[in-house]
Amino acid sequence: MSAEKEYMGGRKSKMWTYFIFLGVLIIGALVANLVFSNPTVAREGVKGFFGLPSWALTVVTFIVGAGIFWIGLKLETDWPEAVGAFLVAGSVCAGEMMIGWNHFNVGGLFVVPYLLPIAVFLVLLMYGMKKSA
């Protein structure tokens, strides 16, 4: 086993890393929902950030996350993929807040807005694991 593979640990340690990222994503979604329960606050909250519109920070985060994820696919280590997937899923969560959580309640299921960022995160991680295996 090469030194680089030893540093990353075995499959069990990789899975714990992904579980930790997933837990942070869930906690972030819950905190964001509590903080931005008012959609107007979510739309106007980042207006002062570099003078950009409120949606621009979400788009920039998405592009940076997608770039980090893409670069991570080219490297042996899985950390850039996980960080990129986390940024992309976080920007999906922020976009949901700006649009409004209630618009994503499909069929009256209030849990769908929480599941979308989690699903994006897991799909990106599964794709990254498949490409690096």
14-57 confidence digits (pLDDT tens): 676 777 778 777 877 776 776 667 666 655 655 555 677 777 88
Find the domain containing 112 and state its range. Answer: 9-132
Question: Is residue 84 situated within a structural domain?
Answer: yes
Question: Is residue 2 situated within a structural domain?
Answer: no
CA–CA distance, 56 with 34 (Å, rounded to integer): 22
In this prediction the pTM is 0.65
Task: Tell me how far the alpha carbon of residue 51 is from its chain's centroid.
Answer: 24
User: How many structural domains does the chain have?
Assistant: 1
Cβ neighbours of 128 (radius 10 Å):
20
Question: Is residue 4 situated within a structural domain?
Answer: no
Contact 9, 3 (CB under 8 A): no
88-126 pLDDT, tens digit per residue, is 998 998 888 888 777 777 777 777 788 888 999 999 988
Question: Is residue 3 situated within a structural domain?
Answer: no
Question: Is residue 66 situated within a structural domain?
Answer: yes
